[in-house]
Amino acid sequence: MNHTDAITEIIKTIPETQEDFKESYKTNSPFMVISVFTKQIKRLIKENDQKILTKSILKMNKLYSKGDAALKNAIENIFVYSLDSFTFCCEPTYKKMIFNKMSPSLQENYFHQVYKSGI
């Protein structure tokens, strides 16, 4: 799956993103696509919209597992990197729910980034 396929999958999960993707520069690269999706996930976390947030995290898992190398790289460097700042002020149970929905490979990548020595 490439970033163009990812756009279709993201719009199925969060229809409002269709407006974001109308701006062509946001569809040019995997990094822009995942950036748009990550901003929507941030909004869902702040709004405490657990139903759509759960669907979005599960979709991110799918994009990560089935995505090409460029899409995986974008997910690791945008979504996973940003996740800690999004969940910093969350209640512990809400934060736990978010992380429990993440696939083991995304969780592993998150822990690797957060606990990497030398940072």
Question: Cα dihedral sign for 62, 102, 78, 110?
Answer: negative
* Nearest residue to 13 (alpha-carbon basis) of 48, 46, 47, 61: 61
Paired tokens of 107: 């969780």
**Confidence category of residue 24, pLDDT binned at 50, 70, 90:** confident
- Mind listing the pLDDT tens digit for each residue in 58-117? 999 999 999 999 999 999 999 999 998 999 888 999 999 999 999 999 999 998 888 775
Which one has a higher pLDDT value, 119 or 48? 48
